[in-house]
Structure 1
Amino acid sequence: MAFKGHKNMSTTSPPHNRSRSEDEDDPIDLMISRTGCGELHYAVQECMAEHQDWRKCQSQVQTFKDCMTSFQNSRKELLNKQQHDSAKSEHN
């Protein structure tokens, strides 16, 4: 997992965000916040900023990973259900 700077922790823009002003929303932050895992993502970033060693942040990384996996599985189930319902209605 790559470390991405957080607006509140740094005065410089993260590498993927160099052309944005500081008050513009980061699309990565927006995507993660939609998953419901945003606070866990920030916990990973804060740990990395504090310790500068990803090995000391494994519990935060694992918690964030578990949250994202749960979100992805729920989304996959929803999409499968929608496809199944759509195919079912086409046959009727």
Structure 2
Amino acid sequence: MATSPPHNRSRSEDEDDPVDRMISRTGCGELHYAVQECMAEQQDWRKCQSQVQTFKDCMTSFQTSQKQLNKPQQATAKSAHS
């Protein structure tokens, strides 16, 4: 039985990229793809600033909401240790 060495393995098309999975959990996946598509078409990131800004705003909103969700848990954990 012949097996290919690990460095010759290719990822299948349907295997998720860890970065794509992480971004899709934020709800900003479509905006991320819009940035990638623009960059592929334009070949100049400076021409994609509106897409980049929209994606950045989405990620910032997600991060802010995550911090808000984690605040009560952290406060509760601190008071439990006091």
> What percent identity do the matched residue pairs reach?
79
- Residue 84 (structure 1) aligned to one of 61, 71, 75: 75
Divergent runs of 4+, >3 A = none
Q: Which amino acid aligns with 2:31?
A: L
Structure 1 runs not aligned, ≥5 long: 1-17
- Residue 35 (structure 1) aligned to one of 26, 29, 45: 26
Aligned residues: 74
- TM-score, scaled to structure 1: 0.72
Partners of 2:58 and 2:10 in 1: how far apart?
A: 30
Structure 2 runs not aligned, ≥5 long: 1-8
Q: Work out which of the two has the higher radius of gyration on C-alpha atoms and give 1 or 2.
A: 2
Partners of 1:55 and 1:30 in 2: how far apart?
A: 26
- TM-score, scaled to structure 2: 0.80
Q: Which amino acid aligns with 2:60?
A: T
**1:46 positional shift:** 0.5
2:73 pairs with 1:61 = no
Partners of 1:24 and 1:39 in 2: how far apart?
A: 18
> What do you get for the CA RMSD once the two structures are aligned?
1.8
